[in-house]
Structure formats: C-alpha cells, structure tokens
Amino acid sequence: MELSADIRKFLIEKLSKTGGHIGPNLGVVELTIALHKVFDSPKDKLIWDVGHQSYVHKILTGRASEFDT
C-alpha cells in the first residue's frame, strides 16, 4: 500500500504543476503495480489502450524524472 500512496502523491504533486491526465492515472495505480509484479517488464510488453493511463508504468520503469520536462 505504501508504494501506491507514494505514486499517488508523486502524480498529484507533479501534475498539479505541469498539467496532465490525473484521474485516469490515479485509477490504475494498483492495476499497474500488479501488472509489473506478475509480468516481467520490459521483457513482457505491456500495451495501454490510451497513453494517458501509462504514467504509473513510466514511473515504475524508472522514468519519473521525465515528469519535470
């Protein structure tokens, strides 16, 4: 649960400053964490139907620093 809370806090802080799709991403935090636990990303490809639900995936794959740009 701590990881979920940390990701939500990060998203709210970053997206309140830069803008972006906060709702769809807050709704898929646990789902994305579960997908990363079950599948071997990036070896196993995860495909999102819309890009604005992929922010959590980007955070979990080490690209959180890109949210400042």
The pLDDT of 47-55, averaged and rounded, is 87
Give me the pLDDT at residue 20, please: 86
How far CA 10 is from CA of 38, 55, 58, 60, in Å, comes to 23, 11, 12, 12
Give the predicted TM-score (pTM) of the model.
0.86
Give me the pLDDT at residue 50, please: 84
Which tokens sit at 69?
């740009």
Amino acid sitting at position 34: A
